Amino acid sequence: MHAALLQAAPVLAAAKSKVPFYIVGGLLICWALVLSMGIGMRRPEFPGTVAAERAVIGITVVLVVATMTMAIVTSGGPG
């Protein structure tokens, strides 16, 4: 997923549309809500194992980096 987003970044941002940023930011928001309200509040032992913890951290880092990348790539500037 991470490599695909980085490869698609120039294509998605060619017209300086903010839509790619909104999409990736929306994914990050959904991820945060699912983790906190959907899973975290219902399962006190979440994430349970070290592997699951690393997976959650890894996905979160990828989404944050993708959102920051889209913010930079789609930012306004001389076109």
Number of domains the chain is built from: 1
Q: Which domain holds residue 39?
A: 17-73
The Cα 56–Cα 41 span in angstroms is 15
**pLDDT digits over 55-79, tens only?**
999 999 999 999 999 999 988 765 5
Q: Is 1 part of any domain? A: no
Residue 18 structure tokens: 């903010």
Q: Is 3 part of any domain? A: no
pLDDT at 44: 87
Q: Is 49 part of any domain? A: yes
Q: What is the pTM of this model?
A: 0.73
Q: Is 46 part of any domain? A: yes
Q: Is 78 part of any domain? A: no
The Cα 69–Cα 38 span in angstroms is 27
Q: Is 79 part of any domain? A: no
Q: Is 68 part of any domain? A: yes
Q: Is 7 part of any domain? A: no
